[in-house]
Amino acid sequence: MPSFAYFNKQFVPLEEAKLGIMTNALHYGTAIFEGIRGNWNPQKKQIYIFRLKEHFERLHNGCRIIKTELAYSIEELCQITVKLVAMCRFEEDVYIRPLAYKSSQSLGVRLHDLENDFLALVIPWGPYLDVETAKCGISSWRRPDYNVIPPSAKLTGLYINNALAKTEAIEKGFDEAIMLTPDGHISEGSGENLFLVTDGKLVTPASDNHILLGITRDTVIKLAKDEMGIETVERPVELDELFAADECFLTGTAAHLTPVGEIDHRPIADGKVGEITKRLQELYFEVIRGNNPKYLDWCTPVY
């Protein structure tokens, strides 16, 4: 089935969306991206795009950081995305990649005096971490400090840090990396936020622990409180707490909610999916596929 992209202010077949080799963003990482899930509901024959508006709000905020002026409002970006996914006619889970970027065919390290543009593409994409429980390793690569690169936006240039950590983890036999802050606290995975379950409460690194404030992270915090009466404590997390946790899981748009079974070859409790993790995972998948009427305002139907 053919796929399409939004490129140069029009919808085109994906294979026709090409960038010039002198595009500034290609050389210097001067772009902001988002990852957005469209979740297929086979009973309803519908793709629901999850928390679409919130993703584009974060994209807009990130553009301010790198002095990128978007020619589209949040509402216009949402409309473009729905039309793009509808054109592709997929009947499976999809992944949507919007990108706001410095489009000038111009070399030179800077953010000023460059043109800006926007593109989006959509591809079929199943589970990112296709395991029942993930094996994680503590990475030797740490998150950059705030005065190096701000972690609050999905800057393409920043993600070399994540790529180094991910590949190191895979080459050591793990499924995912867990990175530390510059001062040695737990931060996040290479593409996910991290939660512990300790004494019946959720614990997750706070916003000042060099994390991306994930939309799935926010979703889980809300579901835990509203549906299970479980509060989330946001604070610095020490390495030894991670090893001693009752349960552990990762959250992210690509990874959804993935249980963690072991870290650095140490099992988390019995190494199996914990009760709270399992219930949250079930709730989350009900919500993102449009099967929970209470949260349908988070789900944008495509067809």
pLDDT in tens, 69-93: 999 999 999 999 999 999 999 999 9
Q: Determine the Cα–Cα distance for residues 296 and 291; give it in Å rounded to an integer.
A: 8
Told to judge if 225 belongs to the known catalytic residues of this protein, a careful annotator would answer no
Q: What is the pLDDT of residues 274-285, one digit of tens each?
A: 999 999 999 999
Beta strands 116-124 and 4-7: pairing type?
antiparallel
pLDDT above 80 for 265: yes
Q: What is the mean pLDDT of residues 220-232?
A: 98
Q: Which domains does the chain have, with CATH numbers?
A: 4-124 (3.30.470.10), 134-288 (3.20.10.10)
Q: Determine the Cα–Cα distance for residues 255 and 274; give it in Å rounded to an integer.
A: 17
pLDDT above 80 for 1: no
pLDDT above 80 for 161: yes
Per DSSP, the residues of 48-102 read EEETHHHHHHHHHHHHHHTT---SS-HHHHHHHHHHHHHHHT--S-EEEEEEEEE
pLDDT above 80 for 206: yes
CA atoms within 13 A on the CB side of 64: 6
pLDDT for the residue numbered 276: 98
pLDDT for the residue numbered 2: 78
Q: What is the pLDDT of residues 232-244, one digit of tens each?
A: 999 999 999 999 9
pLDDT above 90 for 127: no
Catalytic residue among 154, 166, 225, 294: 154
- Please list the residues that pair with 37 across neighbouring strands: 95
Reading the block at residue 235, the tokens are 């604070």
CA atoms within 13 A on the CB side of 107: 3
At residue 151 the predicted structure's pLDDT band, cuts being 50, 70 and 90, is confident
pLDDT for the residue numbered 71: 93
| Closest C-alpha among 47, 242, 8, 30 to residue 138 | 242
Q: What is the mean pLDDT of residues 174-181?
A: 98
At residue 36 the predicted structure's pLDDT band, cuts being 50, 70 and 90, is very high
**What is the distance of C-alpha 253 from the center of its chain?**
4
- How close are the terminal C-alpha atoms of the chain, in Å? 16
Q: Determine the Cα–Cα distance for residues 116 and 98; give it in Å rounded to an integer.
A: 14
CB of 139 closer than 8 Å to CB of 165: yes
* CB burial of residue 266 (10 Å; 0-12, 13-18, 19+): exposed
Count of positions (residues) in the chain: 303
**Mean of pLDDT over the chain:** 97
pTM of the model: 0.96
* Contacts of 113 by beta carbon, 8 Å cutoff, 6+ apart: none
